Chains A and B, each alone.
Chain A
Amino acid sequence: MKAAQPRRPGTIVAEIVTALIFLLFLFPFLLVLINSAKTSFEVTQYPLALPTRWGNIVDNIVKIWTSESVRYPSSLLSSTIITAVSLILINVFSAMAGWALVRTKTKTSSVIFFIFVASMVIPFQIVMFPLLSWFRTVTVATGIRLLRTYQGIILSYIGFGAPLSIFMFHGFIKSIPLELEEAATIDGCHKHQIFFKIIFPILKPIQATVLVLNGIWIWNDYLLPLLVLGKGNDVMTIPLAVSNFAGAFVKQWDLILTAILMAMVPVIIFFLFAQKYIVKGMVAGAIK
């Protein structure tokens, strides 16, 4: 800690201005919180007032928890499964691919890497409709269901998330000295052992970035789950559940805002724990 520096009047003004902007920035979240503790009459009549009875928040939470169109416990579980499994697989598979692409200096390897990089400019809109018809075709041909299932959406996230992740691993692995791997080869390590025992642990900082960038995207994604999982499915993510509810209970702001509050709380708790990694990871990801 540095000793407190003498503070000039300019600094104090800046402190007050920043604090005010800070409050303004977080005010929407405060509105969500106070209005989750109101009855539907109170919300529409006095949206800015404090709730008359904070206990209402419990009633509202119970209503959302048991609501048929949110199915909160099952949506939270689905979101968690989809995000966690996709992240683990993207992380391991992309690191493997990045390493294979760096350490194999053939024409095929360069071409594959180039295709991954080039694919990053392609917007999702261009593949989303044919993706659905292709998944249907695969199901007809093989019997494996991809639409409306976990395997379908996780496969999609791996495919869409891999290019950027491979690109980041590739950049980092290039800077790892080859001698490290040669020494291990002399000691009799197999290639796959070299990767999993030596390289993969070194990649931790990049893994953090890959997990954070993909994690925020997958957890909050709306369009891909909407298309691949569809509405009214057993497997539903939190963003789908909230929009489902808001669509079905138009203007029932007390309950919509409670659903929003319950959607935000897990993210905010997670953020407070992993704050340092998240901010670092996102900035590193942007600069790469």
Chain B
Amino acid sequence: MTKKTESRIVFWVFLAPVLFAFIMVMVIPFFLGSYYAFTNWTSSARVDNGLRFIGFKNFTDSLTDPSFLYSFGITFVYTILNMIAINVVAFALALLVTGNLRFKNVYRVGFFVPNLIGGIILGYIWQFIFNNAIPSLGSLIPALGFLADPDKLMLSKNTSALAAMVIVGAWQYAGYIMMIYVAAIENIPQELIEAAKIDGATPWIRLRAITIPLCAQAFTVTMFLTLVNSFKQFDVNVSLTSGGPSTMLMGQPILGTQLLALNIYNTAFISNKLSEAQARAFVFFLVLAIISIIQVYVNKRKEIEL
């Protein structure tokens, strides 16, 4: 056996296990899905049983369905608010725990803990907080009596329920993003800060002129992570609000906090329109790809400016 053949055999043998799994769960489903999106595929119309090609009908149906358009809008709003909330909280926490604090390692670990627990479990915990703990606070403290009003529960109205999801999202994710900022802040050369101090720069100026510009690369990473994760949010959506409460749009009842990922899931398993759900997933993917490319591009330009 020549050296070259041995190398080639080793190459394929070493690659075989991942390649097999990857082809089975990614490549084949991806191509099947690209086809199914243009058919009348449902759980009854399977490949061997009445599957027909129907062109772009699934896409046009999706894009004229109020619930899908509404989910798009609300996912954008949620993503933007969540990105802002997570990053502001995370950066503020990072500044605090990189300071001269006695228990800073304890704080870091504590802020990180929510990130270890799955979104589905966190959502149930906060459902209890919003529906039981906070109203109880209202009945204990007369000045906060409005909290106990059953009509004013955070999860009972669309806008406040969305805000509730942002609170949970920020709480879950801020500790992780904080750790990335901490790594960036601790990489800033101490001499730079000392020199600025000697020149009489106030903490605020040091933050604006040194810390933020030198964290520019970290911002690109954190913005990307928070953008993608907020846009794909599913678990907290399911367990905190299940998409509710319902509301009306264009004469149709729709779920008021149903983000895109949940909309796709419900289209498939509640409305039983698998092929349309597949088309929606493609639209979801394209939009996500476009906005994340824009985000990375904008951040990279900002990196140079700073």
Contact = CB atoms under 8 A, between A and B. Distances in A.
Interface of A: 5, 7, 11, 14-15, 17-19, 21-22, 25-26, 28-29, 31-32, 35, 43-44, 46-48, 89, 93-94, 96-97, 99-101, 104, 106, 109, 112, 116, 119, 121-131, 133-134, 137-138, 155-156, 158-160, 162-163, 166, 191-192, 195, 216, 219-223, 239, 242-243, 246, 253, 256-257, 260, 263-264, 267-268, 271, 275, 278-279, 282-283, 286-287
B12 to A, nearest CB: 8
Nearest to B221: A286
B129 A31 contact: yes
Contact of A32 (B102, B125, B136, B261): B125
Interface stretch (B64-72, B152-160, B249-257, B280-288): B280-288
Contacts of A128: 29, 281
A55 to B, nearest CB: 22
A155 B21 contact: yes
B132 interface: yes
Nearest to B97: A18
A35 B25 contact: no
A191 B1 CA distance: 14
A106 B277 CA distance: 39
Contacts of B26: 119, 122, 127, 159-160
Contacts of B222: 286
B17 A256 contact: no
Contacts of B101: 11, 14-15, 18
B38 interface: no
B42 to A, nearest CB: 11
B243 to A, nearest CB: 14
Contacts of A133: 32, 36, 46-47
- Contact residues on B (Cβ < 8 Å of other chain), bracket: 35 or more
A283 B268 contact: no
Given A21-B93, A93-B17, A5 B29 contact: no
Contacts of B83: none
Nearest to A126: B281
Contacts of A287: 180, 183, 218, 221
Contact of A127 (B25, B100, B112): B25
B32 A130 contact: yes
Contacts of A264: 117, 121
Given A31-B125, A31-B128, A125 B111 contact: no
Contacts of A28: 114, 125-126, 129, 171
Interface string B113-138: 11111111100111011001100110
Contact of B289 (A96, A121, A278): A121
Count chain B CB atoms within 10 A of each CB in A29, A125, A256 and give the residue with the most. A125
A123 B288 CA distance: 9
Contact of A134 (B28, B115, B180): B28
Nearest to A18: B96
Contacts of B140: 48
A121 B32 CA distance: 18
A222 B15 contact: no
A125 B117 contact: no
B119 A283 contact: no
Given A31-B129, A287-B183, A25 B110 contact: yes
16 contacts: A18-B101, A21-B96, A28-B114, A43-B132, A44-B132, A125-B232, A126-B282, A130-B36, A133-B46, A158-B21, A220-B117, A222-B118, A223-B235, A242-B121, A243-B120, A286-B225
B66 to A, nearest CB: 20
Contact of B128 (A35, A121, A124): A35
A47 B49 CA distance: 54
A46 B282 contact: no
A158 B18 contact: yes
Given A222-B235, A223-B234, A268 B29 contact: no
Contact of A100 (B14, B106, B112, B238): B14
A26 B113 contact: yes
Given A48-B137, A282-B176, A286-B180, 20 more contacts: A18-B101, A25-B114, A29-B125, A48-B136, A97-B19, A100-B15, A112-B15, A123-B285, A125-B264, A125-B265, A127-B26, A127-B33, A129-B268, A129-B274, A129-B278, A130-B32, A160-B25, A166-B18, A243-B124, A275-B109
Contact of B17 (A25, A158, A239): A158
B29 A94 contact: no
A131 B29 contact: yes
